[in-house]
Structure 1
Amino acid sequence: MTFYSESLPLSRPFRISRGAKTSADVVVVELAQGGMVGRGECVPYGRYQENCASVMAQLGVLQGQALDRAQVQRLLPPGAARNALDCALWDLEAKLSGIGVAERLGIATPPSLPTALTVTLDTPEAMAAQAKALGKASLIKIKVDAQAPLEQIRAVRHAAPAARLIVDPNEAWSPALLVEALPELAVLRVDLLEQPIPAAQSEALATITPLVPICADEACHTTEDLPALVGRYQVVNIKLDKTGGLTEALTMLRDARAMGFGVMTGCMTASSLSIAPAMLIGAQSDFADLDGAMLMVEDRPGAMPLRDGQLWPAAEGFWG
C-alpha cells in the first residue's frame, strides 16, 4: 500500500454556506499485487474533523498489513480514510479477477447517468447566470445560505424554468426559517431540500410538515444512523466519504430502501476517481449528485465525461 495527498485546482471557487474552496484536497491510496494496481480516492472534510494529514495517519497504521475489505471495516471508522482504502480494494479485486465491480455485484449500470449540476452560492444575479450556463441540465442543485435563500432560488428557477431543483443550505437554516420557506419552495417546484437545518437539531423536523421532501446529509453517515431519521427525513444522502467506502454504502442503500427512505447519492468536490465507485450507488438512487469533478481544472486521464447533465463511464481500466 502506498498513499499520498494531492491538491487539485478548481476552475472557479466553490462556495457553500460554510465557506469557499479553490482546490480539492484529496488522498489517493494505491494497492499493488500480482502486477496490478487498485486505486481509491477520498476527500477529508473539516466538518467531520478530517484533513489530509489525519487521513494519512490512519492509513499509516495499517501499512504493511495484509488486508481485505472485511478487516478494513473493523480496523477503520467510517470516513475518508476507510473510503479510499475500501475503494482501492474493490478496484484491485476487479483487476486481479477480470470481473468488474458492477458485474460482481449484479448492478445494471445505464449507458449514462443523469446527475445534478451545482449552482454555487453567490448573488441571485450571478447564480441565475450560472444556471443559464448549464444549458440542457435537467437537474440543478442550488447552494444557498440563510441571507437571501428564496431570492437565490427564485433567480435560478427563472433562469431554468424546466429543470428539477435540489436546494442545499448545508445546515445554514434555523427551524423557523425552514417553516417560513417551505410553502415558497413548493410553489417554486423544488424537488428536494437537502439538510436545511443543523444535524444536531434534526428532532425539530418531527413536528414540521415536509411540503418538499427533506434529505439527510450531514445527519446521516452510515446504516446505524437510519433508525433515528425515521419520521424526520424522507430521503438520505449516501456519500462514500461518509460511509467509509462502497462496502458500507451498499449496505446502507439496502437498509434505507427497506425502511422506506428515498435515496440520493452525493459526492465531495473531487476527481473522477472518487466519482466512479459512487456511480454504482447513483445508478440505483432517486437522485444522483455526482458532478464533483466538474470544476476540476484538469481531471485524471481516462476520467468520466460529463455532458449536458449526463455522466458517462470512465475509460476501461480507470476504476472497477
Structure 2
Amino acid sequence: MRRHLEATIETFPIAGLFTISRGSKTEAEVITCTIREDGFSGRGECVPYKRYGESLDGVLSDIHSIAEAVDSGLTREELQTRMKPGAARNAVDCALWDLEAKRDGLRVADLIGAASQKPLVTAFTLSLGEPAVMAADARRNAQRPLLKIKLGTEDDESRLRAVREAAPNARIIVDANEGWMEENLSHHMAVAAELNVSLIEQPLPAGKDAALANIRRLVSVCADESVHATKDLESLRDRYDAVNIKLDKTGGLTEALAMKAEAQRLGFLVMLGCMVGSSLAMAPAVLLAQDADYADLDGPLLLAKDRPTGLRYEGSLVYPPDPDLWG
C-alpha cells in the first residue's frame, strides 16, 4: 500500500453577495484534501469557519500535520482520536471514505447502510438584507417549497413579514445566527409562530441560551452553533427541539453518523446543514440526510460556478452524488 495525502485551497465565486448577521462574502474559500493509494484517489472538502476559530492557513496546517500518519495507513477510526472535530478532520475523514469506496468498488451509501438513495428537498437560503430586498429575493424563489432566511438584526419582524408576504406558500426556516437576545426572544418567536415558520435556528448565542429552557417554544428551535458533536446532545435536551449536523462541525462523516443516530434516539429533529462550499462538500451530507427531517444543502446553488462534476439540482431537489464526484 502506497498512500499520499495532498491538500490545497480552492476558491469558488458566489453569485452576488452572501450575507448573514456576522458579515458578507463574495466567494467560498474551501480546502480540498486528496488521498491517493495504488492508482485510486479519494477527496474531501471542508470550509474553515472563523466563528469557530478556524482559518484557511490553520486548517491547511492541521491537515498537513496528519499527512505522515495517513500515508502510513491511519484508519478513519484512528483519525477520530488523532484530530479534534472541525473542518480539518472533515476533509481527511471524507477523503478516506471516498478512497475506501473507490478502492473496494463499493458506494459509501452501501457502507453506511443508506443504499436506497433518493432526491431530497433542500432549503434555499435568502441572505440578510433590507426588508424590500429580502422580499424581492423571496418573490423570485416563492415556488421553492422550503426557504431559509438569514436574520439577526434589530428589526427582524419587518424582514420576516416581508418574506412571508412575498412567499406565502413556502415553508420557512429562520436562522438568526445567534443574533437575538433574551429580551426580544419571546416577541420574535410569537411573530414567527403567527407567520407559520417551521423552525428557528440558533436564536441566542451559544453558551448564552439558557432562556430557551424557560419559555414556551411556540416554534421548534434548532441548535447550530451550540452543538458540534455527539457529546453535546444530552445537555441540550431542555433547550432545543432540533439539531443542525454539519460535517465541518463534527469533523467528518464518521462522527456525523454517530451524532445523527444519537440525536434521533434522544428525540431531536435532525437537519443536515452546510457551509457555503462546492458540491464536493455537500455530497456526503446528501447521503446522510436521506432520513433527516430537514436538508439544508444548497451551497452549490449559491455559487456562480461549481465543480465540473457537481451535484444535480432540479429546482430545490438535490440528487445523490455520482461516483465521479464522491462516494
- Backbone CA RMSD of aligned residues: 1.0
Contact 1:87 1:245 in 2 (8 A): yes
Residues of 2 paired with 1:154 and 1:282: CA distance? 30
Aligned to 1:2: 6
Aligned to 1:72: 79
Contact 1:117 1:309 in 2 (8 A): yes
Give the Å deviation of 1:135: 4.5
The 5 Å alignment of 1:29-178 reads 29-65=33-69, 66=72, 67-178=74-185
Alignment partner of 2:256 out of 230, 249, 255: 249
Give the Å deviation of 1:109: 4.3
Residue 221 of structure 1 aligns to a residue whose secondary structure is coil
Change (3 A) 1:229 1:125: same
Alignment partner of 2:274 out of 255, 267, 273: 267
Residues of 1 paired with 2:195 and 2:314: CA distance? 26
Corresponding letter in the other structure for 1:288:
A
Residue 308 of structure 2 aligns to a residue whose secondary structure is coil
Residues of 2 paired with 1:308 and 1:158: CA distance? 21
Change (3 A) 1:109 1:270: farther
Residues of 2 paired with 1:103 and 1:214: CA distance? 32
Alignment partner of 1:200 out of 186, 199, 207: 207
Aligned to 1:311: 318
Aligned to 1:185: 192
Q: How many residues align?
A: 320
Residues of 2 paired with 1:134 and 1:308: CA distance? 10
Contact 2:9 2:56 in 1 (8 A): yes
Contact 1:136 1:309 in 2 (8 A): no
Give the Å deviation of 1:293: 1.2
Structure 2 segments unaligned to the other structure (5+ residues): none
Residues of 2 paired with 1:184 and 1:314: CA distance? 38
Aligned to 2:240: 233
Contact 2:178 2:204 in 1 (8 A): yes
Q: Name whichever of 45-54 and 108-117 sits farther off.
A: 108-117
Q: Name whichever of 194-203 and 62-71 sits farther off.
A: 62-71
Q: Name whichever of 62-71 and 85-94 sits farther off.
A: 62-71
Residues of 1 paired with 2:170 and 2:117: CA distance? 21
Contact 1:31 1:89 in 2 (8 A): yes
Residues of 2 paired with 1:291 and 1:98: CA distance? 29
Give the Å deviation of 1:202: 1.7
TM-score scaled by structure 2? 0.96
Residues of 1 paired with 2:309 and 2:263: CA distance? 33
Corresponding letter in the other structure for 2:10:
E
Residues of 2 paired with 1:133 and 1:112: CA distance? 23
Corresponding letter in the other structure for 1:230:
R
Contact 1:38 1:88 in 2 (8 A): yes
Superposed CA deviations along residues 233-259 of structure 1, whole A, max 9, x for unmatched, are 000000000000000000000000111
TM-score scaled by structure 1? 0.98
Residues of 2 paired with 1:34 and 1:129: CA distance? 52
Residues of 2 paired with 1:110 and 1:128: CA distance? 34
Corresponding letter in the other structure for 1:47:
R
Residue 58 of structure 2 aligns to a residue whose secondary structure is helix
Superposed CA deviations along residues 149-196 of structure 1, whole A, max 9, x for unmatched, are 111111111111111000001000001211111111111000000000
Residues of 1 paired with 2:119 and 2:214: CA distance? 39
Residue 42 of structure 2 aligns to a residue whose secondary structure is strand
Residues of 1 paired with 2:308 and 2:75: CA distance? 27
Residues of 1 paired with 2:223 and 2:156: CA distance? 19
Q: Name whichever of 176-185 and 44-53 sits farther off.
A: 176-185
Corresponding letter in the other structure for 1:12:
G
Corresponding letter in the other structure for 2:257:
L
Aligned to 1:25: 29
Contact 1:128 1:156 in 2 (8 A): yes
Contact 1:8 1:296 in 2 (8 A): yes
